[in-house]
Chain A
Amino acid sequence: MNLEPGAALPPVAKQLSLEMFRQGGARTIHNDYEAARQEGLPAPVAVGPQVAALLFKMMRQCFGAGWVVGGRIALTFRRPVYVTERVAAEGRVTRVEPEGGKRRVHCEVWVANAQGERAIVGEASGLVD
């Protein structure tokens, strides 16, 4: 895998559905329209960490053990992701630095919807030999 500056990370996409956010019988902003409306949301929103998990999967696929130990990420959730959206995690390498006998590969990462709107943005890094 090319992990030099400018290289694109292989994207990870997923079609969300309300069923993915059922939690027993609990009615939450993630699975119930009335609960969402009461909290100022027009529709149920996906659980943020479950959407961000697409980024974690992408990083693990790219860095393997260097993500599990040594992985770092800093994310901003810019807008809600609704439970019927299709989303994709993407990223690109921004720089590479030596670190403790390995190389730390820094990446710009984001999760975008089908319209290309970036709902989650941030930076992530992993270690490679």
Chain B
Amino acid sequence: MSDQETRRVARDEHGPRATFEEIEIGKDLGALEWTVQLDEIATQIALDDDPHPWFTGDSPFGGTIAPPQLAYRPPRWLLSRNYNVRGLLYKWEFENLLPLRPGMRLTVKGRITDKWIKAEREFVAYEAWGENEAGERVFHTRRVQILDVIKRTVPREGAGVDSGVKKERIA
């Protein structure tokens, strides 16, 4: 066992890390309201180095649209509102059903769908979807998060530097 695997982080500035046992299959993650902002689109373009003209000007959909992957973070915010988890993204599915547009107001909802242990690592699956004001589904996503890279047999202890970026703003 290397030095870096002698403990799993137990807490960070947001409080105790959620444990595998605390995560409840079927739990409703609630809902959050998200309005797509022009500056969020600009940030996503910069992050992805993809300045396609549809993201800043007109598009075949009539007006500016956002990169579909802009919808990654709101479901993650929903998970973080319920459970203080870090770890790494293991699986990510999504379907683009309608274009995201600046000024669009969405309600994002989600739920925990499964959890399991494999090779002494803890996995949590959740799904989320976003609906526009007309109640139309704009995107749907399913994800699996591995809670810790370090095996679950290693005890939780002490505080971690990484508290995540919990600000619910794409910046």
Contact = CB atoms under 8 A, between A and B. Distances in A.
B61 A41 contact: no
Kindly list the 9 A-B residue pairs having the minimum CB-CB distance in the complex, ordered from nearest.
Answer: A40-B150, A40-B149, A35-B161, A53-B48, A35-B162, A48-B89, A74-B93, A71-B96, A28-B162
Contacts of B91: 74-77
Interface string A62-97: 001101111111111100100000000000000000
Contact of A77 (B72, B89, B165): B89
29 contacts: A14-B49, A27-B162, A29-B162, A35-B161, A39-B148, A39-B160, A39-B162, A40-B149, A40-B150, A41-B4, A45-B88, A53-B69, A56-B69, A60-B52, A65-B60, A65-B61, A67-B68, A68-B54, A68-B65, A69-B61, A69-B99, A70-B97, A72-B95, A73-B94, A74-B92, A74-B93, A77-B88, A77-B89, A80-B88
Contacts of A67: 68, 96
Nearest to A32: B161
Contacts of A49: 69, 72, 89, 92
B58 to A, nearest CB: 13
Given A39-B87, A72-B96, A80-B88, 14 more contacts: A34-B161, A37-B3, A37-B4, A39-B160, A41-B4, A42-B4, A49-B69, A56-B48, A57-B48, A60-B52, A64-B60, A72-B94, A75-B93, A77-B89
Interface string A20-57: 10011011110010110111111001001110110011
Range of interface residues on chain B?
35 or more
